[in-house]
Chain A
Amino acid sequence: MGFEWLFAVPLASAVLLFMIGPRWRFVVSLAGLGTLLACAHWVQQLPLHLTTLWWGQQWALDELGQTLLLYTYAATAVLTVIAWLADQAGWFVPPALAHCGLLAAAVLLRDMPLSALLYASALLLWVLTVRPGSTAAARGAACWLVAVALPLVCLPLAVALLEREVALSGPLGAWLAWLPLWSWCTLFPWDGTTRLWGKERLEVGALFLWAVKDWGVLYLWATLWQQYPALRSEGTLAALGIAGLATAVLSGVWALMQSQPAGVLACAAMSALGIAVQGLAADAGAAVQGGLLVLAQRSLAVLLAGAALAAWPSAAGRDAAAGDGAPRWRRPLLLAAFALGVLALAGLPPLGHAGRGPIQSWLAAQQPYLRLSWLSATLGIVLGLARVAWPMWHSEAEPNADPRADLPLAWVAALLLLLLWVSLRPQGLAGLWAQQLGQWLQVLQSG
């Protein structure tokens, strides 16, 4: 199998499943999972660092790209199952597969501007999946459109100018050095991802963007820095660190103002992202490892809390249908899973502290106000959680006697165990990274 299968098959499958439509959600989910499994197999079979010329472009796969694709396939598979159980498979699977195909092309291409263009196009696909019925979702998608399309417009132009050997000096050079900040736009809190959820329940598409998007953008960052070392100026990294701190604090405090559980989860996820970026921009070994650990914990915590929210309506219905003497354990379990996920995002020990420790110990030496800033963010998230947990617990639900509604609980339990493993044994994950992403870590740490 050649590398072209990695993007041809998911794209073709996406078109086919889109035509089958949402009525056959079981078939759509199964075919989607089969495609992802095949892609995961192919990406492991491909030789690393072997450059191939195809369609006038150079294509190659490195360790980081392989890891990113495997992570994307795994996250998409988990969310496909959640989407199937939450009756959203028809809307979710085709764009998710198309995203996987375009991401694979972006990862394999050696041409940076074309790669950025492809990935931004993949993210733009999600705007087309927003459904009518929620004004907030449509407005959020408009913000998302702006955040994704800005790098689409600016980044390829600037890199094309760099490739023409425009000297990185003078005002134009300084402007170009701010390029990573343009790509930061896609990570920034007001990117609209947080508002893509529906009013009543969490959209799996928004969950997907949280779980996958930032890793893709970070991959593009690392590739950009590898190809153009001049962009890694001290000023740019400092600006990224400040943007990370602002994101962490503002998002954390903003969580206090949310009245929906998905809103609190979104703000907590953004806050964790800001702290991870602070670690990655610190240019020091331990802090970079800590930033990556925070990102991994964030992905798992968002998946856990999001899966708990997606499973909430059906589980509440099952509890409501239980007899008078029967134990009603589903809602407490899901509420606990949601709270644990959000508290891990807030950085509270024992689950959320492992990654933040190295970042804090590195940055606090230079910035004494850091602890207070992080504490304010954590406090905002905890209070926001307390604010939404009470009405969530007392919400009414339609009785539902279908035993299949319990299936999402298995996913929640599996994700909970995985988060516990990552949080309590961070050294295991660090070892895995050193093995898989050694080259990339060197790029990030060689300031």
Chain B
Amino acid sequence: MLSTWSLWLEKLSTSHAPQLTAGLTVCGLLVLALGDHPLALLPWMLQRGLLIALLWSALRLPLSSMSGIASIAIALLFLGAELWSAFARLRHGNAEQPAERSVTGWSLQLLGAALALLVTRGLLQVELVQRLPSAAALAAVPLCVNGVFMLLLAGGGWLAGFGLLSLADGLRVLYALWSPDPMWWGLWAASDVVVALAASHLRRLQRAVPPPAPAEQG
């Protein structure tokens, strides 16, 4: 079963690399546009899956499976946090929350996504980036740029966590160029899970705490 999946992913990563790379960019932009909305988890997980598929043929099996296991753990953590928040709201009878994102917030997110696309396009023309293998540059640059924009637009743990993990994914693509060490790869995947644990904890807190009073700072 595993070998069938492995063969399929290897074939996919070689035959559909341009589509996978384009998918990475689109998913990152979607996460940016959705921001703190719970649905942002879907494109982010899809982005992560596409990255694993894209790197499948370039990496040895233990490294790819480490990334896969870490991704599953991260998805479970984020999903758990969302379900816990929803359950807590239902239990306390305040399921009817006001809209989380104002028009200004949505437009800011969309502008951020558009700007990220422009910056990505610009960076791909830079001489230093052009020295990298084009497939790696096309995968790493959108991930890094989208990650940085997510960090800049983050108002809490949710988008900050996505941003950090996207940035780490972009750097991981670069690291994959230098025959990565399995120990470092595993440690990096473990640190991803730690970051996701902290981000999901903050997400739970933010959904649980009352709305800020006007005089409160921060």
B216: chain A residues at CB < 8 Å are: 134-136, 199
B154: chain A residues at CB < 8 Å are: 142, 146
Report if A145-B199 is in contact (Cβ < 8 Å); known contacts: A154-B171, A157-B175, A199-B216.
yes
Shortest distance from the beta carbon of B216 to any chain A beta carbon, whole Å: 6
Inter-chain contact B160/A124, CB cutoff 8 Å = no
Inter-chain contact B194/A142, CB cutoff 8 Å = no
Closest to A164 in B: B178
- For chain B, the count of residues having a C-beta within 8 Å of the partner chain is 40
Q: Which of A6-14, A125-133, A297-305, A373-381 contacts B (4 or more CB under 8 A)?
A: A125-133
Assembled-state Cα–Cα distance A255/B140 (Å) = 40
Report if A138-B206 is in contact (Cβ < 8 Å); known contacts: A152-B191, A195-B218.
yes
Shortest distance from the beta carbon of B148 to any chain A beta carbon, whole Å: 10
Shortest distance from the beta carbon of A23 to any chain B beta carbon, whole Å: 22
In A134-190, the 8 Å CB interface with B consists of 134-143, 145-146, 149-150, 152-154, 156-157, 160-161, 164, 171-172
Inter-chain contact B178/A161, CB cutoff 8 Å = yes
B164: chain A residues at CB < 8 Å are: 145-146, 149-150, 153
Closest to A161 in B: B178
Chain B residues near A (Cβ < 8 Å): 127-128, 151, 154-157, 160-161, 163-164, 167-168, 171, 174-175, 178, 181, 184, 187-188, 191, 194-195, 197-199, 201-202, 205-206, 208-212, 215-218
Assembled-state Cα–Cα distance A157/B161 (Å) = 19
A171: chain B residues at CB < 8 Å are: 127-128
Closest to A118 in B: B187
Report if A138-B167 is in contact (Cβ < 8 Å); known contacts: A156-B184, A164-B178, A259-B217.
no
- For chain A, the count of residues having a C-beta within 8 Å of the partner chain is 42
Inter-chain contact A135/B198, CB cutoff 8 Å = no
B167: chain A residues at CB < 8 Å are: 150, 153
Answer whether residue A260 sits at the interface, using C-beta atoms and an 8 A cutoff: yes
Answer whether residue A341 sits at the interface, using C-beta atoms and an 8 A cutoff: no
Shortest distance from the beta carbon of B206 to any chain A beta carbon, whole Å: 5
Answer whether residue A121 sits at the interface, using C-beta atoms and an 8 A cutoff: yes
Answer whether residue A90 sits at the interface, using C-beta atoms and an 8 A cutoff: no
B174: chain A residues at CB < 8 Å are: 157
Answer whether residue A113 sits at the interface, using C-beta atoms and an 8 A cutoff: yes
B127: chain A residues at CB < 8 Å are: 171
Shortest distance from the beta carbon of B98 to any chain A beta carbon, whole Å: 15
Inter-chain contact B155/A139, CB cutoff 8 Å = yes
Shortest distance from the beta carbon of A171 to any chain B beta carbon, whole Å: 5
Query: Chain B CB within 10 Å — which of A131, A146, A195 has the most?
Result: A146
Inter-chain contact B160/A142, CB cutoff 8 Å = yes
Closest to A175 in B: B128
Assembled-state Cα–Cα distance A152/B199 (Å) = 15
Answer whether residue A241 sits at the interface, using C-beta atoms and an 8 A cutoff: no
Can you list 7 A-B contacts with CB-CB less than 8 angstroms, sorted by A residue number?
A117-B187, A124-B195, A132-B209, A135-B209, A145-B195, A149-B195, A172-B128
Answer whether residue A263 sits at the interface, using C-beta atoms and an 8 A cutoff: yes
